[in-house]
Amino acid sequence: SPSPEPIYDQQGKRQNTREVRARRKVEEQRHQLIAELLAINPEYKPPGDYKLVSTIELIGNLNK
């Protein structure tokens, strides 16, 4: 599939590189899996480095 149009920050650095898009996708999958685990087992303790993300943030990130 073709790459999306490049997005640059104030300094001219590209923000949506292939690596950034891949990392975002993996993080979104991680959030979804942890949310499913919490729904199945409320006593599940997420990893120590996990930061709870609201559903609104997840939906917003999916649209990027």
pLDDT of residue 36: 92
Residues 6+ positions from 50 with CB-CB distance below 8 Å: 30, 34
pLDDT of residue 48: 87
- Stretch 10-27: mean pLDDT: 91
* Dihedral angle, C-alpha 27, 29, 34, 39, nearest 10 °: 140
pLDDT of residue 62: 54
pLDDT of residue 19: 92
* 6 secondary structure, DSSP code: P
- Stretch 18-39: mean pLDDT: 91
